[in-house]
Amino acid sequence: MATKSKKKFYITTTIPYANAPPHIGFTLEIVQADVLARWHRLIGEKVFFLTGTDEHGSKNYRMAKEQGLTPQAFVDKNSNYFRELTKILNISNNNFIRTTDKKVHWPGVLNLWKILAAKGDIYKKKYTGSYCSGCERFVTEKDLIDGKCPDHPNLKIELISEENYFFDLSKYSGKITQLVKEDKIKIRPLKWKNDFLSLIKDGLTDVSFSRDKEHLPWGIPVPGDENQVMYVWADALTNYLTGIGYPDKKYEKFWPADVHVVGKDMLRFHSGIWPGMLLSAGLPLPKEIIVHGFLIVDGQKMSKSLGNVISPLELRKKYDSDSIRYYLARTIPFGDDGDFSEKGLVQRHNDELANKLGNLISRISTLIEKYGMEKCENKLLKKLKIKEIEKHIEKYEIDKAVNEIFAFIDVCNEYVQNKKPWETHDKKVLYEIADSIKAISILLWPFIPSTSEKISEQFGFELKYDEIKKPLKISKIKKGEILFKKIEIEEEKKEEKDRILSIEVFPELSKKGINVFSAVFKNVKISNKNLYLENLKKEILNSEINLDKKIIDGYKEFYKDKNMLSGADSILSIINKNKMFPNINTIVDAYNLASIKTSVSMGAHDLEKLKGNLRIKLTDGSEHFIPLGQKELIKVELGEYACMDDEKILCRMDIKQCDETKITKNTKEFVIYAQGNKNVNRDYLKNSLINACELIKKANGGEYNLIEQKINKQPEVKEIMTGVGSVNFSDWEKLDLRVAKIKKVEDIEGADKLYKLELDVGELGKRIICAGIKQFYPKEKLKNKKIIYFSNLAPRVMRGIESQGMLLAASDNEHKKVLLISPDEGAEPGMRIG
């Protein structure tokens, strides 16, 4: 058991950039830091916990101008959001430092600059380089992927040329490397120590320490040079000193920092630049740098520049602070990336906080109020692994520490179930559980402070670490408020997308060899790029690409008179032209890789944008669609084939996808299909799809289920009507042809060939059909006309209208002349033809 100690403990978060309200990624950092700060207070240490906001820089200056605000008003507004975050999440920081504070921050920054300059470690030179405004640093080609910063792909890399001050970091490169290797600057978890050492194996380079005031008017002036302002590292990093009083001697009470908590993208600056500045100034170095991972959304780091943030301020309006704190501390280990999920938060709240902890407190307090307690030795406490919990905290394994505490809560709940104090009224059992609740509450205080404080007040004990060893004093305990009310999870409504259960190839195309295999993917996280896929692309580019000519020719048969390429052929054409593999996103890139490997055409569509089941059929000439990347509808010719849902064309032949259903970074569920031809074996086609699905899963996560192709058993009307081929009598008997009377004729918006007809079919009632006869019959000639109606043809959706059958008509071979087939006078609606 840790003993009471008066030694100091100084912990910091990074100071987030105040260009927008906070996102859930920084919330993870500040909650993890607060858990550590509270733990060290709990064991009796003198703790100082610092956080704040970084407020200078080009982004804030530019964004303030865009919003019609002064830079100071702009950062005041955003800094207040971060200050509010500390309050609503019960963060126990001792100070909130702002880099625009001229009284508290500026004096220390100016003092440190002068010390470094006097040491000869700051010099001026002209420099031209690529600059990422998201990272606020110059970058080299090796830092970029396809000319973009991997952490800020939406921001343009700028080429900047100007004369600035630089800090001679390279002078301290060897010393910093040695200090990190020898753990004199500890980086934890260890994998990040190794990552940093790998990063600096070629040595640390000098860093820009200022910007031209003409380009950046918003910053701390460089001493003795009115044309320059300090760059972020000279300014923001110094907050760890100014936040505790530097340059006043009082800062020495807490310096050096015991722990800097930083995100993995901040590692190089806190382990490289910051120690270099301190070595130059002759100041003690921080003891440990603890690294946390990113919170992931859609497969990418959650960040303001990508616009995919979750607001903790909005989240707090829905959930208690302890529920949010508990979920972040319990679910996401230091050093690892984690996926924030509201559903996961609710599950943890209900299953662990409400069911396990909350119910234990409620049951025991109710029984104690009724039957009282009798003091005795609490043998249950022997099952509480306090030493293990302490070790986990010391190693920054806060998720494992809270897991041990809840393991003991399980022990207590099981003990209550076995002893049944509601039947036995055993006061000693109730005392043992109450005393155990004291220990649990004290240990949980760093994680869920509000709840622990309520329990301590209800059971009458102090939240001090050494109270765990002391027996609980007998006091009057009453049943209190419900600590954690269950949160109802709304069952997701089944939408149209849940009905995507089949894909059908119509017989006229099936006979020509068109066949498909498809799958439905769920719970994917899509990003712009994936390292594994990028390496596969490089392998392909460095090898000879040979598509299967027989398979490609099988596709070309369907558009040999058109200037078109099949899916794989089109990708190869782009590769040959651009000397690089196309990059769309990690779903499209994955199935494009599979397509190049197998020569099979593939496509995918966002399930949320689909209506009903999928079918591949011949077009009737009335269809239109918007091709990928375009805005205007184009007409689809009669006799082509297309993949359709109930309302629209999804893909024209195997190559032209519609824009509406494309896969984007917001897609969560989608259908993917591999389309074969007469030269593609069914097993080969299935394996090609599985190959694509496994690539997608590796790069995007999620799970998939294969969908079997539906075989259309409907007799082919065209052959029966035209006399092409022989027809069995049993096939003829399946047709239900009736006399029908046209009651109403309406135009269909956007359709130049179709009418919507309302038919009277006698005993069958009213039926609606779509008929492509607009060019041949004016409306007035159709009303009340009797026709022959094919009543049991499977319905299909045309232009958003379900057509419940078809009428019979005669036409010439060019379809230039169409005549309706009408029954004799005296035939009544509903009469059967046969």
For residues 132 and 404, the model is more confident at 404
- Token couple for 340: 């924030």
**Would you state the structure tokens that stand for residue 12, as one six-digit string?**
């910091």
pLDDT at site 409: 96
DSSP letter at 17? B
| Mean pLDDT within 105-121 | 97
Residue 719 in this model has a pLDDT that exceeds 50: no
pLDDT of residue 732: 66
Sign of CA dihedral 68, 70, 71, 72: negative
* Strand ranges inside 558-684, DSSP E: 601-606, 614-618, 624-625, 634-635, 641-644, 649-652, 656-657, 670-676
- Any idea which of 387-401, 642-656, 685-699, 738-752 has the lowest mean pLDDT? 642-656
Phi, psi of 165 (to 5 degrees): -85, 145
Task: Please give the Cα distance from 433 to 532 (Å, whole number).
Answer: 52
pLDDT for 666: 84
Neighbour count for residue 182 (Cβ, 10 Å): 9
Cα(17)–Cα(236) distance, integer angstroms: 10
- 805, 767 Cβ separation under 8 angstroms: yes
Q: What angle do CA 224, 227, 228 make, to 5 degrees?
A: 80
| pLDDT for 717 | 37
Provide the CA 749 distance to its chain's centre, in angstroms.
Answer: 39
Q: What DSSP string runs through 53-67? A: EB--SHHHHHHHHHT
Per-residue pLDDT, 638 = 77
Which among 464, 507, 450 is positioned nearest to 714, based on CA atoms?
A: 507
pLDDT above 60 (res 710): no
- pLDDT tier for residue 499 given thresholds of 50, 70 and 90: very low
Q: What is the mean pLDDT of residues 641-657?
A: 78
Look at residue 473 and tell me whether its pLDDT is greater than 80: yes
Mean pLDDT to the nearest integer, 645-657: 76
Predicted confidence band of residue 383 (pLDDT cuts 50, 70, 90): very high
Q: Looking at residues 737-746, what average pLDDT do you find?
A: 92
Topology at the third CATH level for domain 496-711: Phenylalanyl-tRNA Synthetase; Chain B, domain 3 (3.50.40)
Contact 538, 598 (CB under 8 A): no
Q: Which residue type, as a one-letter code, is found at position 186? A: K
pLDDT in tens, 770-803: 988 888 888 888 998 999 998 888 777 677 677 8
Least confident of 181-185, 552-556, 615-619: 615-619
pLDDT at 718 over 50: no
Name which of 695, 704, 699, 680 is nearest 598 in CA terms: 680
Is residue 498 predicted with pLDDT exceeding 50?
no
Residue (of 314, 32, 21, 268) closest to 151 by Cα position: 268
Measure the CA–CA gap between 652 and 601, rounded to whole angstroms: 12
In the predicted structure, residue 355 carries a pLDDT above the cut 90: yes
Q: Which CATH class is domain 349-468?
A: mainly alpha
* pLDDT value, residue 298: 46
Q: Under a CB-based contact definition with an 8 Å cutoff, are residues 735 and 790 in contact?
A: yes
Residue type, 251: Y
For 508-577, what is the HEC assignment?
A: HHHCCCCEEEEEEEECCCCCCCCHHHHHHHHHHHCCCCCCCHHHHHHHHCCCCCCCCCCHHHHHHHHHHH
Dig out the tokens for 712 from the structure: 């259309």
Residues 737/833, Cβ–Cβ less than 8 Å:
yes
Tell me which amino acid residue 234 is.
A
pLDDT of residue 810: 86
Identify the pLDDT of residue 297. 58
> Would you list the domain boundaries of the chain?
349-468, 496-711, 717-833
Pick the CATH number of 717-833 from 2.120.10.30, 2.40.50.140, 2.10.10.90, 3.40.50.720: 2.40.50.140
The more confident residue out of 553 and 150 is 553
What's the pLDDT score for residue 721? Answer: 36
For residue 159, the Cα-to-chain-centroid distance in whole angstroms is 31
pLDDT value at residue 215:
79
Higher pLDDT, 612 or 107: 107
The pair of structure tokens assigned to 531 is: 């390292």
Which stretch of 270-274, 552-556, 597-601, 621-625 has the lowest confidence by average pLDDT? 621-625
Task: Please give the full DSSP string across 175-228, using - where no structure is assigned.
Answer: HHHHHHHTTSSEEESHHHHHHHHHHTTT-PPPEE-EEETTT--SSPEETTEEEE
- Looking at residue 649, its pLDDT comes to 81
The confidence score (pLDDT) of residue 814 equals 63
pLDDT at 555 over 70: yes
What percent of the chain is modeled with pLDDT above 70? 91
Distance CA 379, CA 412 (A): 11
Question: Is there a contact between 513 and 678 (Cβ–Cβ < 8 Å)?
Answer: yes
On average, the pLDDT of the chain sits at 86
AA identity, residue 745 = V
Spatial strand order in the sheet of 649-652: 656-657, 649-652, 641-644, 614-618, 503-505, 709-711
Q: Are strands 8-13 and 259-263 parallel, antiparallel or unpaired?
A: parallel
Are the C-beta atoms of 24 and 309 separated by less than 8 Å? yes
Q: How confident is the model at residue 577 (pLDDT cuts 50, 70, 90)?
A: confident
Q: What is the pLDDT of residues 210-262, one digit of tens each?
A: 999 887 889 999 999 999 999 999 999 999 999 999 999 999 999 999 999 99
311 pLDDT higher than 60 = yes
Distance from C-alpha of 36 to C-alpha of 42, rounded to nearest angstrom: 10
Once rounded to an integer, what is the mean pLDDT over residues 596-606? 88
Tokens linked to 411:
């022990």
pLDDT at position 270 over 90 = yes
The predicted pLDDT at position 421 comes to 95
